[in-house]
Amino acid sequence: MKKWLKFTSVPILAVFILLMFYLYSAESRIKGPSQPIFFSHKIHAGDNEIPCEYCHAYVEISPVPGIPSDQKCIGCHLFIIGKDEDYHYDGRSINIKNEIQKVKDYWDRNEPIPWVKVNFLPQFVHFNHKRHIRREIECKACHGEVQNMDVVHQVYKFSMGFCIACHQEKARDAQELTMLKDCLTCHY
């Protein structure tokens, strides 16, 4: 009896641990990571219709979109102080004026806001935002309806199948499809 318990407890424990990792990663994809400042894309990109490219200024000229600097944030929030009222999100009440004050505090300390990355690709994949923007592929094709999200979360699992399906759909002709499906397009 003890041998049976000894041999089955390790696999059961391993399955339990893997299940916990899976559930944790699925929850973080749905809810998004905890950020140092509550930043609502719904308020900025949705209600105020600020284009993605305004804050993610490098998206048209660089492989990476760029995270807005404190200077970009304070450029607006020196004048927009926010309402001194609570905003309700995920069962919590968040005072927008207090969150904007956090932006000002980082600015006053000359310290960058330590935003937490939301979307991840494996290191062996080289994704270039600039190429996709030039093809007029909308941000929501990969990032979902960000303008409706208070807290941005990863909507799609960026797998090779996800990318290949898009390449097949967007290719202008057979020659371009061959190029887009070439391994070296994304793995170099």
Is the pLDDT at 28 greater than 50? The verdict is no
Q: Where are the domains of the chain?
A: 1-31
| Arithmetic mean of pLDDT, 90-108 | 93
Q: Which amino acid is at 104?
A: K
The one-character DSSP state at 92 is E
Neighbours of 109 (CB within 10 A): 9
Is the pLDDT at 7 greater than 90? The verdict is no
Q: Which pLDDT value is given to residue 146?
A: 95
Q: Is 127 exposed, middle or buried (0-12, 13-18, 19+ CB in 10 A)?
A: middle
Q: Which pLDDT value is given to residue 37?
A: 95
| Alpha-carbon gap, residue 21 to 18, rounded angstroms | 5
Q: What is the pLDDT of residues 147-185, one digit of tens each?
A: 999 999 999 999 999 999 999 999 999 999 999 999 999
Ranking 12-16, 36-40, 97-101, 117-121 by mean pLDDT, the lowest is: 12-16
89, two tokens: 């999100």
